[in-house]
Copies of this chain bind each other. A is one copy, B any other.
Amino acid sequence: MIVEMRTGASKEEVDDVVRKARSFDLGVQLNIGTDKTVVAILGSNTGQIPTDLFAVLPGVESVTRIMKPYKLASREFQRRDTVVDCAGVKIGGERIVVMAGPCAVESESQLMQAAEGVKKAGAAILRGGAFKPRTSPFSFQGLQKKGLELLAATKERFAMPVVTEVVNPQDIKLVSTYADMLQIGSRNMQNFALLTGAGKSGRPVVLKRGFSCTITEWLTAADYLLAEGENKVILCERGIRTFEDSIRFSLDISAVPVIKKNSHLPVIVDPSHAAGHYSLVPAIAKAAVAAGADGLLIEVHPNPKEALVDGLQSLSLSDFSRLMDELRMIAKAVGRYI
């Protein structure tokens, strides 16, 4: 941590900073410049100490963190890449794992058709929402328990692991009974009660990035999951909010190499929620694979025109199948396979 003193700060003010640092058992080195005094505060856990402790002292101009605030998710904590096992499917290895299915589970026939189609096209994991977090209380909220049962039945029939979203800490146990992997949505990335509960479930967890959170905050949220003792977290980039209005969210493609640099966790991309429109999904999905993503989470519906939720961003089964062929070519070009 670097504490920059104001021009003209007194010796007493500098001493105060030094004293406070020592009271936390931190090392201190002073740099007395011509214009400014700079105090370097050293120690391996300074990333977890609030900068405010020093910033609030008289004579301090600014405090800059050198150590990152996250720890367990960092590449420095674990050098080698984490590979997460979801009911036998490995995420984070050479294979690019495609998770596909409808936004919301609507009925048995819809889910079965979707599962059959995406499996045939090469998807490794089935996705489908039973609990839907909706911005308006008057919108369809998902089939809930009934949806979970349909997911479990489909999973059995097509021998595909299932991932589904959980939105309330009270439902974690129930959802874990039916699903192989939990998903935490963008709006819940900093719902710390939910993170702690999901971390305790023992299930692998897909943690979507908050649509307005920095990568640093995202990795710090992953620490909540990892702190419960299991190294089974998959990060999912799904677009961030910007001023651009031609799409729903701007997919932050740089998040893929930045995560690979700073963290050992696998990272996948959800092109559907970012695009908001099926016609933009293929280009973003291909870009994600080329940039090094470990997987994709794609919305596919047997009949998008009749979808209850997010029909516009869903691919039809034939569009999905065509996209998978294109993705296989890109995967090969970057030395991987689907």
Contact = CB atoms under 8 A, between A and B. Distances in A.
Interface stretch (A85-93, A107-115, A255-263): A255-263
Interface of A: 2, 4, 7, 27, 29, 31, 33-36, 38, 40, 42-44, 48, 50-53, 55-57, 62, 64, 66-67, 69-71, 76, 133-139, 167-170, 187-188, 190-193, 196, 210-212, 214-217, 220-221, 223-224, 227, 240-247, 250-258, 260-262, 274-275, 277, 279-280, 282-284, 286-292, 304-305, 307, 309-313, 326, 329-330, 332-334
A254 B40 CA distance: 30
The 3 closest A-B pairs by CB, nearest first: A212-B212, A290-B290, A287-B287
Contact of A170 (B2, B33, B170, B292): B170
A29 B247 CA distance: 28
A246 B218 CA distance: 12
Contacts of A4: 66
A55 B192 CA distance: 35
Contact of A214 (B139, B243, B291): B243
Given A133-B192, A242-B243, A283-B291, A138 B48 contact: yes
A247 B247 CA distance: 19
Contacts of A223: 136-138
A212 B243 contact: yes
Given A133-B190, A247-B258, A283-B291, A31 B35 contact: no
Contacts of A137: 192, 196, 223-224, 227
B44 A35 contact: yes
A253 B255 CA distance: 12
B242 A252 contact: yes
A211 B256 CA distance: 21
A283 B292 contact: yes
Nearest to A248: B254
Contact of A135 (B135, B211, B221, B258): B221
A309 B50 contact: yes
A194 B312 CA distance: 29
Contact of A290 (B40, B168, B287): B287
Given A223-B137, A224-B137, A244 B190 contact: no
A34 B42 contact: yes
A24 to B, nearest CB: 13
Given A35-B44, A42-B31, A50 B139 contact: yes
A260 to B, nearest CB: 8
A136 to B, nearest CB: 5
B283 A254 contact: yes
Given A56-B305, A253-B253, A253-B287, 10 more contacts: A2-B66, A135-B217, A170-B170, A214-B243, A240-B250, A244-B252, A254-B280, A254-B284, A261-B280, A283-B292
Nearest to A65: B64
B192 A167 contact: yes
B240 A244 contact: yes
B215 A135 contact: no
Given A52-B311, A168-B193, A254-B275, A66 B38 contact: yes
